[in-house]
Structures are given as structure tokens and as C-alpha cells.
Amino acid sequence: MQEETLTKHEQIIRYIEELSVGTHISVRKIAQALEVSEGTAYRAMKEAESLGYVSTKDRTGTVRVEKKEPQAIDKLTFAEVVNIVDGEVLGGASGLHKSLNKFVIGAMQLEAMKRYIEPGNLLIVGNRTQAHLYALGQGAGILVTGGFQTLDEAKELADELELPIISTSYDTFTVATMINRAIYDQLIKKKIMLVRDIIRTDTRVYSLRAEDTVSDMRHWMDETGHTRFPVVDERNKPIGMVTAKDVVGAEAGQPIHQLMTLDPLTVSDQAPVASVSHTMVWEGIELLPVVGKDGKMVGVISRDDVLKAMQYLQTQPQHGETLEDQIWSGMEKVRGKDGEFYYRGTVTAQMTNPVGTVSEGILTTLMSQVAIRTIREQKRGDLIVDSSSNYFLLPIPIDSVIECVPNVLEMSRKYGKIEVDIFCDGKRMAKSTFTCRLTD
């Protein structure tokens, strides 16, 4: 890509990318260096900040920083603990990058504590200075709760051993809850597969330019076996899509821009795969260009890619329970007298509203889960709920045993319609009808 094809905005982003990490920058400096207006420079700097290239801090100004790629918490480091608990590092800062393998809450006498402390642990404790020294000697880091400090001797030892001592104003219970929540949220997010997780970055993305000809496209069709190609402009931004059907009967020298479909649907590399699946099924699309935050194409995703990813997700173990998982955990599958299946469970306190009856939102979630599981037993592949009609007939009190009975009304290769009734003591308490779109 030639520099002259870039807009002023993109030139500023490129300029910031090429600065060395630690360089101080300002709107005025950029405006003078690239001969642009301060307004243009300001907008580009804000985008660079959102992309992770610069960071603005009090008293230091705006600084070029190393862009951090998003990472799930597989192994928690001491630095991440500092961020989670809003902590202050008292010593051993050079060891913040180290991973920890276990938390130990020091709610006991030192002699009893010793048997639990091992290398790589994080000891969560108050102002027990002897416990601080012992933990450092065993190769463990320390998280001091209650905003307390530690001995200078412990700080020096921490610096020598590169084992962090972190102080936080929160109490022990709150700290443990915050760390558990951070890890738990990451485990749930880890289940959510994004487009960037499945697009190929190690292979070339074949695309055409608007000025390319039908002859060029036919050459690439023979070379790659592909029948669909995104069309991009000089800045690598998608402007159209062209398929083999579009060029049937066209002359070899005819330009692609006369045959392509303008303004193609695109998808962000940050989008969940499930959302992309819905778009492709709903619009009947086989191939979608994938774009980054700057709107430039970073790859393509096909319907086959999406379906394989969805099938892979269904075979993976669940790492963290969402609220939906927790609601469903109390339900069991039961076979009726006539051989039909239904689901049965007990209404718990967590499922109720302030007046002690089951929340309508919880009931909707339960009926939706029953519908989805029933259809999945009959049809392979994934499904998307298009619409639902819910009727709440009678309130269901706490501790009631409920039965969720599905009834498939219609099923085809692409669509399904199902109704779900909820009974309690033989009375119908709620009813819902779902229309689903199926992907195979």
C-alpha cells in the first residue's frame, strides 16, 4: 500500500504505530510533524488510544505504549492481582510477571499456617509480619489486606527474591470474592468463541480490486477453487462481493465493478460466532468479509467455518457457569407414562421475585431451554430462536415442584415450532410457543 493512498487520519495512526514505546506525544506535535489540523490529530490520537497504541495518564501526558493482545486468565499473575484488588506494591515489583498457582488465606496461627504455604502461592493475610517473612522464605507472594504495611526487612527480602508484597484496603473476604469473580468471568468469556478465534491468519486472503477483470477472477477461481471473492479498494476496505454466478456469460475484459454486489455485509473480528451464524442463516450468505476496528479486511469467514466452530463448542467442557446454566442446573429429564420426555425441578429461592413467586424472566429462560434441548434431540446442528410468545397464567410459589412439558408442533429442515407448558400440581401455570431457525 502506498503512503499517498492513505487518508490523513490513517497516516497519523501509522505515524503513531511507528513511534518507539515510551515516546511522549501531543496533539500539537503530531499536527506540526504531519502538517494536519489539530482537530484531525486529536481524533486520530483518540482512535490510537482505543486501539491500545497510546495511553494517557495524569501528570505524564500521552505516551506510546506497547499494544497488549487480549488474553484470558489461564494462569493468574501477581500483576493481574494488583489490578483486580486496586493494590499497592510494597516490594518485589520485579516479580509481578510471575504466575501464582494457589491462594492461601492465613486465618490461623503461624504454626498452623506453615503446612499450607508452598512456592508459587499467594498468601492473603493481614498485618502478621512474621507470617510475611515466613511466606517469602517459602517462595510465596503476599497480599496484605486491610490497608496495612509490612516490615522494611520484608520489603528488602521481597526485592531480593523477586516475590511481590501487595497491599490492599479491602478485607480478606472481599479480596477473595473479587479474585474469584475475575477468574470466573474470564472462564465464562473463554466459552464465547469470537470470529478472530477461527479466521485463518496463516494463509493468504484472496480478494479482487474493482478495476480487475472477469479474466482475472476466472484465473483465481481456477487457481484456488473458490467461487466467491470480496472486492476491496486501495485501502483494503471491502466495497463489494462477486460470485461465479455474477460472471456467467460476461466478457473476459469486463471490469469487476460492473458485476459485483455493492456494499457487502461485513462482520467485526470481535463479533461472537453465534451472532455471525444468525446473520449468515438469516441473510442466506455463504461468505462474509471480516474487518478490524479500522474497517480494513483482515480475513473472510464462510458458513462452513461457522458451523464447524459451533460444533466444536458443543463438544467442549463447560468452564464456568453462566446465570442460564445455574437456572437449568436444578432440572432433570424424566420419562412419562406414555414414553414421552419432560423436565422436572424444584423452585429455589434464587428463582423468585420479591413477593416469593417465580420470576417471569426465569420462567421464560426455563421454557426456552426446554425448547432448545428438545429440538436438538431431533435435529443435529445449531438453532436460533426467532420469536416466542409467553403466557403466565398463575403464580408459582417457592419450593414448588414444576414440570416442563414440550410439544413439537412443526419441524422441517430449516424451521421448527414448539410449545412448552409448565405444570404445578397438575395445573397449567405458564405456556410459551417458540419459532426457531435451524442450521445444518
At residue 221's C-alpha, the angle toward residues 220 and 223, to 5°, is 60
Confidence band of 324 (pLDDT split at 50, 70, 90): confident
Mean pLDDT of 110-130: 91
CA separation for the pair 394, 427 (Å, rounded): 9
Please say whether the beta carbons of 233 and 239 come within 8 A: yes
pLDDT tens sequence across 45-74: 888 887 788 887 666 678 887 765 555 445
Mean pLDDT of 236-265: 91
User: How many CB atoms sit inside 10 A of residue 436's CB?
Assistant: 21
pLDDT tens sequence across 12-34: 888 888 888 778 888 888 888 88
Q: Which domains does the chain have, with CATH numbers?
A: 3-64 (1.10.10.10), 78-191 (3.40.1390.20), 196-313 (3.10.580.10), 323-439 (3.10.129.10)
Predicted confidence at residue 136, as pLDDT, reads 94
Predicted confidence at residue 191, as pLDDT, reads 58
Confidence band of 76 (pLDDT split at 50, 70, 90): confident
Mean pLDDT of 198-202: 74
CA separation for the pair 369, 319 (Å, rounded): 19
DSSP codes of every residue in 318-362:
P-S--HHHHHHTT-EEEE-TTS-EEEEEE--GGGB-TTSBB-HHH
Predicted confidence at residue 322, as pLDDT, reads 67
Predicted confidence at residue 272, as pLDDT, reads 85
Please say whether the beta carbons of 25 and 63 come within 8 A: yes
Checking if the pLDDT of 144 tops 90, the result is yes
pLDDT tens sequence across 368-392: 999 988 888 887 666 788 899 999 9
Top pLDDT among 280 and 244 is at 244
Predicted confidence at residue 4, as pLDDT, reads 44
User: How many CB atoms sit inside 10 A of residue 174's CB?
Assistant: 13
Confidence band of 1 (pLDDT split at 50, 70, 90): very low
Predicted confidence at residue 46, as pLDDT, reads 86
pLDDT over 90 percentage in the chain: 39
Predicted confidence at residue 10, as pLDDT, reads 82
User: How many CB atoms sit inside 10 A of residue 356's CB?
Assistant: 13
DSSP codes of every residue in 66-124:
PPPPP---SS-BHHHHHHHTT-EEEE-GGGTT-B--EEEE--S-HHHHTTT--TTEEEE
Burial grade of 68 (CB within 10 A; 0-12, 13-18, 19 or more): exposed
- The rounded mean pLDDT for the chain is 85
Top pLDDT among 356 and 211 is at 211
Checking if the pLDDT of 345 tops 90, the result is yes
Checking if the pLDDT of 197 tops 90, the result is no
Checking if the pLDDT of 357 tops 60, the result is yes
Predicted confidence at residue 259, as pLDDT, reads 92
Comparing C-alpha atoms, which of 293, 290, 239 is closest to residue 261? 239
CA separation for the pair 163, 165 (Å, rounded): 7
Predicted confidence at residue 2, as pLDDT, reads 38
pLDDT over 70 percentage in the chain: 89
Please say whether the beta carbons of 240 and 260 come within 8 A: yes
